[in-house]
């Protein structure tokens, strides 16, 4: 809910600032273009965030950004509350730790089903049920 409010509130605020302050000048047109690009990026991230398990990899897309993680590289899964900007559209996230130092926060709609699917592909993944607050 908080992320929805922040994202859509920012979009509405920037849009109304552009509309209410627009004038025919180079600076105003440049500012409007930058504002519209920012709105476009936020909408792209909002509607373009998804996680897909394909064969032995997790494909993570969030707007123009893509990551691909080998499921065999995942060592630990835990839960975390965080307001950091990551490919997660919620404050309640799961943390995938992979490789030596890799960490990714995501928020799939059905966490338990997602984790179960990962465990079927890599039963060596450790699950930490403890929630860590940030």
pTM: 0.72
Give yes or no for a contact between 89 and 46, defined as CB atoms under 8 angstroms apart.
yes
What is the model's pLDDT at position 49? 87
* Per-position b or e across 70-80, b if 16+ CB within 10 A of its CB: ebebbeebbbb
| pLDDT per residue as tens, the chain (134 positions) | 677 787 888 899 999 998 888 788 888 889 999 999 999 998 998 898 888 888 899 999 988 999 999 999 999 999 887 766 677 777 778 889 998 888 888 888 888 888 889 999 999 999 887 654 44
Strands of the sheet containing 102-106, edge to edge, are 102-106, 92-98, 74-81, 126-133
Quick one: pLDDT at residue 45?
87
């Amino acid at each position: 809910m908080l992320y929805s409010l922040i994202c859509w509130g920012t979009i509405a605020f920037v849009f109304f600032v552009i509309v209410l302050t627009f004038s025919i000048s180079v600076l105003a047109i440049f500012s409007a273009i930058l504002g519209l690009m920012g709105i476009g990026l936020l909408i792209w991230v909002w509607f373009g965030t998804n996680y897909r398990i394909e064969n032995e990899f997790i494909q993570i897309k969030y707007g123009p950004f893509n990551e691909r993680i080998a499921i065999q590289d995942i060592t630990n899964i835990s839960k975390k509350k965080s307001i950091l900007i990551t490919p997660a559209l919620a404050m309640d996230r799961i943390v995938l730790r992979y490789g030596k130092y890799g960490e990714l926060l995501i928020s799939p709609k059905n966490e338990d089903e997602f984790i179960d699917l990962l465990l079927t592909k890599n039963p060596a993944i450790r699950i930490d049920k403890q929630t860590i607050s940030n």
